[in-house]
Amino acid sequence: MNSRKVVFIFWSTLFISSVCGGIVGVFLNWDVYVGNGMTNFIVGVIWMIGLGAAISVVAQMGFFAYLFLHRFGLGLSKTHTLWNRIQWILIVFVYFDLVYFRYVAYAKEGESFFGYMIVPTLLFVYGVLIAWVKARETNQVAFVPALFFMFVITTIEWIPALVANDAKWLAIYITPLLVANTWQLLLLHRLIKKPA
């Protein structure tokens, strides 16, 4: 991995996630940005793209932090098996927290506990799909770290929106996060692959 590849990861991730975040943000705020003149719409688009870019930078910091954490975990545990078990425990812990603490903090009287399982389950299923692709393109050992990154690290990066607990902000925030994290995870092995 050289500096040119690091720069490519940074700018490509920033571009793709800001555009996707901007599109979703404008779509979810369509009534705010349309109908009050072209200037309002242009400023709204720029604002949403800028917000997507800022969230992308958070995702990139999380990605490089996880690369360090993963190597550190492997160094401490000496085997993939032990480190994978630790990651599975943390995945289950974060899933429980994402369901239970949001339910305790935000549930209104009569609201079902199972309703708070939908978003974490969808995020987990998405993480499994991306981890499966990663493992298929590299090796089976990559499955658990990829799932951990896509589920646990994404959840940590998503905390500002989770605290706000507004459906619109949850969607606006998670879009650039998922796009950035998916792109980085599936791009990394292609960039560091040794030529045949």
Residue 182 burial (C-beta neighbours within 10 Å; 0-12, 13-18, 19+): buried
**The three-state (H, E, C) secondary structure of the chain, written as one string:** CCHHHHHHHHHHHHHHHHHHHHHHHHHHCHHHHCCCCHHHHHHHHHHHHHHHHHHHHHHHHHHHHHHHHHHHHHHHHCCHHHHHHHHHHHHHHHHHHHHHHHHHHHCCCCCCCHHHHHHHHHHHHHHHHHHHHHHHHCCHHHHHHHHHHHHHHHHHHCHHHHHHCCHHHHHHHHHHHHHHHHHHHHHHHHHHCCCC
Domain boundaries, the chain: 3-192
Percent share of the chain, pLDDT over 90: 58
The two tokens of residue 77 are: 């545990």
Give the model confidence (pLDDT) of 139-150 as tens digits: 999 999 999 999
With contact defined as beta carbons under 8 Å apart, do 194 and 19 qualify? Answer: no
pLDDT at 154: 96
166-179 pLDDT per residue, tens: 888 899 999 999 99
Question: On the CB side of 53, how many CA atoms lie within 13 Å of its CA?
Answer: 9
Q: Is the pLDDT of residue 195 over 60?
A: no
pLDDT at 196: 46
Render pLDDT for 159-168 as a digit per residue (tens, 0 to 9): 988 888 788 8
Kindly report, residue by residue over 29-66, the tens digit of the pLDDT: 888 877 777 888 888 889 999 999 999 999 999 999 99
CB-based contact 51:25 (threshold 8 Å): yes
The pTM score is: 0.90
Q: How many Cα atoms within 13 Å fall on the side-chain side of residue 35?
A: 5
